[in-house]
Amino acid sequence: MMELNTQKMEDFQGKYKYLMVFVGLAFLLIFIRLWSLQVIKGSELRHLSENNRIRLIENPADRGMLFDCKGRVLAHNRPSFEVYLVPEDAKANPEVLVKVAEMLNITRDEIEEKIQAQKRRAPFRPVKIKSDIDWNKLALLESNRVFLPGLIVDVRPRRAYDYGDLASHLIGYLGEVDENELRQSKEVPYRMGALIGKYGVEYQWENDLRGVDGGRQIEVDALGREIRPLGVVGPFPGNNLFLTIDADLQKTAEEAYKDKNGALIAMDPKTGRLLAMVSKPSFEPFAKNISPEAWKALVENPFHPLTNKGIQGQYPAGSVFKIITAIAGLESGTITPNTSFPCEGAFHYGNRDFRCWKEGGHGRIGLHRAIAESCDIYFYQLGLRLGPDLIARYAHEFGLGKATGILLPHEKAGIVPSSSWKKKRFGTWYSGETLSFAVGQGYLLTTPLQLLMLISGVANGGKLYLPQVVEKIEDINGNTIEEYPPIESGRANVSQKTLQIIQEALKGAVNDPHGTGSGCLLKEVKVAGKTGTAQVVTLPDDFKRGEMKRIPLRLRDHAWFVAYAPFEDPKISVVVLVEHGGFGATAAAPIARKVIEKYLNLKPPLPSKTPEKESDLEYAD
C-alpha cells in the first residue's frame, strides 16, 4: 500500500477562499436567473403556460332573428352540417380519405389540398372539408362513422332567408369579417372568418344581432389531444328585431314591378314607419362569401342590384317637385289659387323654346289644374317669378337636400340647388335654369325616400316623421330591449291653408277627368298623388315625348309617382320610381295603386275591367 503524501497541502488550503467565492457567484447567477423568470416574468410565462394547454373550441352564437310587423320570420338560423377531418387520426387508415371523398362527391385531391392549406395548424386541429352538406350525405356519413376515424360532423347555425330575395336591400347581407372590421372590434373582438352584417339591417343592427359567441375550453397535451374539459361559456344568442315592414305588402309591391327596375317605399305618414321598401333588381341574400365571379356579376350589373335605390339612388324629382314650387308660390304670396297662366304648348324664354309635355298646351290654367294635369308652362312662369332661392327654401322645409336620417347605411343627401350653391361650384345662376328647377329638372337630385317624406309631410299637415324600419328589439326570451317610437323630425313651416290647396290639387291629379295620376284611381277610397318624369338625358327640343319607346332603354326617362290614401285620413303614403319607365302616369301610378289596395285591404279590381290605361295616357306626365 502506498504511503500517504502530505506535502504541499497548503497549495490546496490557499485556494479554499477563492473556490468558495466562485461557487457562491455561480449560485448567485442561478438565483438571479430564477428571480427574473419566476418573479419578474412570472405572470407572463404563467399566461404562456395556460395558452399552451388551453384550447377554445368556438361555438358561435345564433344570430338574432328578423321578423316583419306581423311576426313573420324574415331571417333565422338553420342548422348547417359541417364536415371536418382530423388528419392525424385519419392518416392511420388511407381508406378514410377515399371513402369520405366518395361520400361527399368530391375528389380525394380536394381533401388533400384543404389539409395541405392548413399545414401550420396545431396538431389534432380538425380541418374543414365541406360545409353545409345535405341530409342524405349526413346520413351516409353518420351510418359509416365507425369506419371513418378522424371524421367530425359539426352543427353550425347558418343564416337563412325563407322569403328568398324579398326585401333583400332592407335586410342586407352578411359576409366574412374583413381586416378593417377586425381592427375596429376591440371590445368584443370577432374571430377570423366570422360573419358580420355588411349591408342593410344586418349591418346597421349588427351589435344587437350578433350575440356573444360561446366556446368550450378544453385542456390539451403537447400533442393537442384533449385531456379534459375545463368549462363551457355561452353562447348567448343575439336579439331579435321586429321590422316595420309587412312581408305581404312587400311581396305585392315587388310583384307589381314585374321585370321593371326602380324603387318603392311605403310609409305610415303618421308614424314614419316604413311598410315596404323595394329596390329592383334585387339579389339573393347570401349569408356567406359568394364566389368572386358571382360577386363581380352583381357589382357590374348595369342595373345596380346591390344598391338600395330608395335611399342611395339620386334622381331629378321631375314634376313631383311642382308641389314645392306651388307651395313656394302660395306661401310667398306670388300667386293665389286663382292666379292663372297661359299654356300654349311651348314657352319661349331666352332664345329657347321650353315645352309643355302636352302638345298644343292646356290653354289658360289655374293652380289646381296645373298640378292635377301637371302643366309645365304654368310652373315655368311661376318659377321665373319666384327665383331659385325661394324654391330652394321650401324644398329645404320638407327635408330635401339632406339625408332623412333613416337608420340604414349609405343614405344619400341629394342636391337642392340655389344661386349661392351654383356660385360656389359653377358660377352664376342663369334664369333659364330656374325653369328647369321649377319642374324638378336641372341640378336637383332627390332620393325616393326624400320624395316620400315630401308627400307624407303634405298628407300630414306639414309634420315630418323620421323614417324608421325597426319597431322594437327583443331578447331571446321575448323581453323588450329597445323600442323605436315615432319621432317627429321636423315640421315644414307652411300654412295649413296652403297645404289644403295642395292636397285638393293632388286629389285632383288622381280623381279629376284629366288628372295625370288616374292610373292610381280607386273606387273605394280617395287617393291623392302626383306623377313625375325624371329626365335621364336632355332630349332635343323637337323630340316628341310620345316617341319615348323608340329610344334605347338606358336613355329613357325615369317614372315617378307619389301618393297617399285615404285622402281624408291618410294611412299610407307611397313613392314609386320606375327606372327608364317613361312617364310616371303610365309606369309608376299603377304600381302605387296595387300597394295601396293591398294595404287598405281593398278587393283588387278585375284586371280586364281596369286596363292600365297605357293607351290613353301614353304621354301624360
Partner 1 sequence: MQIDRRLFIHFDWVLLGIVLVIASIGILNLYSATAMIEMAGIPYYLKQIFWLLIGLAVMVTIAFVEYRYYSDVAYIVYGVALFLLIVVLVYGIMTSGAQRWVRIGPFSFQPSEFVKISFILALAKFFHRPPDRKGYSLKELLLPFLLLVLPMVLILKQPDLGTAIILLLVFFSILIFVKIRWFSLLTIGLTGAAAVPLLWSLLKGYQKKRIITFFNPDLDPLGAGYHLIQSKIAVGSGGIIGKGFLKGTQSKLGFLPEQQTDFIFSALGEEWGLIGSLLVIGLYMAFILWGLRIAVQAKDRFSAILAFGVVAMLFWHVFINIGMVLGMMPVVGIPLPLLSYGGSFIVSTLIGVGLLLNASMRRYLF
- Residues of this chain that interact with partner 1 (CB under 8 A) are 1-2, 4-9, 11-13, 15-16, 19-20, 23-24, 26-27, 29-31, 33-35, 37-39, 41-46, 48-50, 52-53, 219-223, 227
**Furthest-apart CA pair in the chain: how many Å?**
149
Kind of pairing between the strands at 214-220 and 195-197: unpaired
Kind of pairing between the strands at 240-243 and 470-474: antiparallel
| Spatial separation of the C-alpha atoms in residues 487 and 187, rounded to whole Å | 31
Q: Name 402's Cβ contacts closer than 8 Å, sequence gap at least 6.
A: 396, 413, 414
For residue 220, the SS3 value is strand
Which CB sits closer to partner 1, 1 or 146? 1
Which CB sits closer to partner 1, 15 or 410? 15
What grid cell was written down for 448? Answer: 325616393
Could you tell me if residue 132 is left (phi over 0), alpha (psi between -120 and 50 degrees) or otherwise beta? left
DSSP E strand stretches across 207-286: 214-220, 226-233, 240-243, 262-267, 274-280
Burial of 180 (0-12, 13-18, 19+ CB in 10 A): exposed
Min dist. Cβ of residue 262 to partner 1 (A): 59
Min dist. Cβ of residue 226 to partner 1 (A): 11
Min dist. Cβ of residue 13 to partner 1 (A): 5
Min dist. Cβ of residue 219 to partner 1 (A): 7
For residue 171, the SS3 value is helix
Min dist. Cβ of residue 113 to partner 1 (A): 23
| Spatial separation of the C-alpha atoms in residues 318 and 325, rounded to whole Å | 12
Alpha-carbon distances of 104 from 68, 107, 127, 614, rounded to whole Å: 37, 9, 15, 55
Which CB sits closer to partner 1, 119 or 258? 119
For residue 298, the SS3 value is helix
Which CB sits closer to partner 1, 17 or 348? 17
Kind of pairing between the strands at 66-67 and 240-243: parallel
Min dist. Cβ of residue 1 to partner 1 (A): 5
Min dist. Cβ of residue 125 to partner 1 (A): 14
Which CB sits closer to partner 1, 32 or 553? 32
Which CB sits closer to partner 1, 27 or 543? 27
Which CB sits closer to partner 1, 231 or 607? 231
Could you tell me if residue 237 is left (phi over 0), alpha (psi between -120 and 50 degrees) or otherwise beta? beta
Min dist. Cβ of residue 39 to partner 1 (A): 6
Backbone angles phi, psi at 243, to 5 degrees: -80, 160
Min dist. Cβ of residue 182 to partner 1 (A): 25
Classify residue 273 by its DSSP letter: B
Which CB sits closer to partner 1, 41 or 402? 41
Min dist. Cβ of residue 89 to partner 1 (A): 18
Which CB sits closer to partner 1, 35 or 543? 35
Residues in the chain: 621
Min dist. Cβ of residue 122 to partner 1 (A): 10
Min dist. Cβ of residue 27 to partner 1 (A): 5
Which CB sits closer to partner 1, 123 or 611? 123
Alpha-carbon distances of 100 from 9, 89, 109, 132, rounded to whole Å: 81, 14, 12, 15
Min dist. Cβ of residue 579 to partner 1 (A): 59
Which CB sits closer to partner 1, 221 or 344? 221
Which CB sits closer to partner 1, 44 or 162? 44
| Spatial separation of the C-alpha atoms in residues 426 and 428, rounded to whole Å | 7
Question: 390, 389, 384, 375: which is closest to 349 by C-alpha?
Answer: 384
Which CB sits closer to partner 1, 13 or 477? 13
* 153: Cα within 13 Å, side-chain hemisphere: 19
| Spatial separation of the C-alpha atoms in residues 565 and 324, rounded to whole Å | 20
Which CB sits closer to partner 1, 4 or 192? 4
Question: 540, 615, 610: which is closest to 583 by C-alpha?
Answer: 615
346 pairs with which residues across the strands? 355
Question: 473, 458, 536: which is closest to 243 by C-alpha?
Answer: 473
Amino acid at 182: L
Which CB sits closer to partner 1, 4 or 606? 4
Classify residue 451 by its DSSP letter: H
Alpha-carbon distances of 540 from 190, 354, 543, 545, rounded to whole Å: 56, 11, 5, 10
Min dist. Cβ of residue 210 to partner 1 (A): 33
- Please spell the DSSP secondary structure of 601-617, one letter per residue: TPPPPPTTTS---TTTT
Helices (H) and strands (E) in the chain, counts: 22, 23
Min dist. Cβ of residue 222 to partner 1 (A): 4
Question: 235, 209, 224, 229: which is closest to 155 by C-alpha?
Answer: 235
